Structure 1
Amino acid sequence: MPFRLEPERTFRHALEQPSNGVGPAGAKIGLWVCSGSALVAEIMAGSGADWLLIDTEHSPNSLESVLAQLHAVHGYPVLPMVRLPWNDVVLIKQYLDLGAQNLLIPMVNDAEQARAAVAAVRYPPHGVRGVGSALARAARWNRIPDYLARADETISLAVQIETGEAVENVEEILAVDGVDAIFIGPSDLAASMGYLGQQEHPEVIAAVERCLAAAQAAGKPAGVNAFVEATARRYIEAGARFVLVGADVAILARSSEELAARYSATGGAGTTDDAGRPASY
């Protein structure tokens, strides 16, 4: 049974479409999925967010757990992106074969590294991606006609700008054919600029906004991570097209702390009914 390709599941296509309505016009609002849990990924997929970042750089994820999360979110109107742990040709091949259509490559500092990432997502003669489509979910085990010839239609590549060196080279990175978008990581950027833990430092914000302006000039979309709402809105106004505004583990940590603190502040007891059960049950 033949399957059709799904170019609409790529960032390249999605950024041309209107938002689901949770963000300002033109901005895709995303959530980070770091727990490694397919169940949590599915909960996040149903939140109404436009996109999810399934992270393998700073999270307890493996090929198997990412595959389970791609399965879990597939039926939802949300766009999954997978961040790899490194710009590595073997890892890129493996995650593409899993069926990840949108990749984010961290720590890309110059055009040469960007070109290496592009080559890794393309089959020869335009790249170096290993050919294993008969074994791969990406091609639905050779059930997608002409997958090898048309694979580029189903893949979007974003590279991460997160060092001072990358900011200095951002125009050259954006000029690389095959880089569909850039994503700015203020945490590592702040650290590389000597402001560890100070993502809101004026010089860090200025560097982020420089990258956003460069992307606009190049005609390519740029995204950014911003958990502080005022900062996220500032970056959207400055031209960010897709923004991460929260993470599953952070939402769970802060919400559980708030709930526990609320009860601790009132002596630890919630309201109960006549049978001694919590009144909300």
Structure 2
Amino acid sequence: MFNLQKITDKIAAGKVPVGSHVGFDSPFLTEALAGCGFDFIWIDAEHSAIDKKDIQNHLLACRAAGVAGIVRVPWNDHVFIKSVLDMGADGIIVPMVRSLEEARTAAAATHYPPNGVRGMGTRRAVNYSMWDKAEYTANEDKHIWTIVQIEHVDVVKDLEAIAALPGISGFVIGPNDYAMSMNTQEHRYTAASPEAKSEFDRIGEILRKTGKPFGVSGAYSEQFVKDWLGRGANWLCMNFDFNYIVNGGKAVLKGTHETLDALGQAY
């Protein structure tokens, strides 16, 4: 049935759920990645060309594989969020939230009245009414993650207030965009800059005190995992579908060239 609880149960048990991103339109990539053992798939509708039908196909693959399907929507738009939730998404990640008011808008989009503005059209979300619709609508926060993405310096001042909002499940940090938001005419920052790392330490400290789970999205490295677990991250989302294709292709080509070199064969 609903798959979000597989993530939240892990977090409650002190374990670290690990997911991966997809941005291509093929649900077969989601099926394959889920089969690798990831706990969830982050379906990225912000920085990709996928449309609503593609999102639905990815969610079909997630449900078939028994993993949670979390959709990062293009923007804080309740109309788009409504349709994605009705497709059966296990959670929504709202990008570039910069204020308490924007977070309040996101929470409203994922909740039914009187707690929000989501329209009633559950359909696939409750397996076409074969699951308990009344239970689903009465326990939105149990079945749907409403995640605020921290990727701009403006939001830090409001983090504690956002965490206290009813309907906000947690947070995810986008290190690259956050570092870019620190840029000035005089200085350009990257996620590896000491100043950015200091900001991430501060964010981790604030979020740990709120008690709300938070995660991070990025490219895998041993140091990346160590850094963010040290800051208190509860979950990780590592690498995109294209990373596996490109890295795998490079590895095969490199190995083949090394073998050809050893044989004295030009290429």
Q: 2:229 — aligned with what?
A: 236
Tell me which amino acid in the other structure corresponds to 1:236. L
Residue 230 of structure 2 is aligned to residue 255 of structure 1: no
Give a deviation string over 1:207-231, Cα, whole Å, max 9, x none: 2222222111011111012323202
Q: How many residues align?
A: 258
Aligned counterparts of 2:79 and 2:130: Cα–Cα separation in 1: 24
Q: 1:138 — aligned with what?
A: 125
Aligned counterparts of 2:64 and 2:129: Cα–Cα separation in 1: 22
Q: 2:88 — aligned with what?
A: 99
Residue 104 of structure 2 is aligned to residue 112 of structure 1: no
Residue 208 of structure 2 is aligned to residue 219 of structure 1: no
Quote the offset at 1:245 in angstroms. 2.1
Gaps of 5+ in 1: 19-25, 271-281
Aligned counterparts of 2:159 and 2:152: Cα–Cα separation in 1: 10
Gaps of 5+ in 2: none
Higher helix share: 2
Quote the offset at 1:46 in angstroms. 0.9
Give a deviation string over 1:119-176, Cα, whole Å, max 9, x none: 111111211111223xx21133333331444444321111100011122332222222
What TM-score do the two structures reach when normalised by structure 2? 0.87
Question: Are the counterparts in 1 of residues 22 and 240 from structure 2 also a CA contact under 8 Å?
Answer: yes
Gap change, CA 1:8 and 1:163, over 3 Å in 2: closer
Percent identity of paired positions between Structure 1 and Structure 2: 32
Gap change, CA 1:214 and 1:10, over 3 Å in 2: farther
Q: 2:160 — aligned with what?
A: 171
What TM-score do the two structures reach when normalised by structure 1? 0.83
Tell me which amino acid in the other structure corresponds to 2:32. I
Tell me which amino acid in the other structure corresponds to 1:206. S
Q: Alignment partner of 1:225: what SS? A: strand
Gap change, CA 1:269 and 1:65, over 3 Å in 2: farther
Aligned counterparts of 2:246 and 2:224: Cα–Cα separation in 1: 21
Question: Are the counterparts in 2 of residues 226 and 232 from structure 1 also a CA contact under 8 Å?
Answer: no
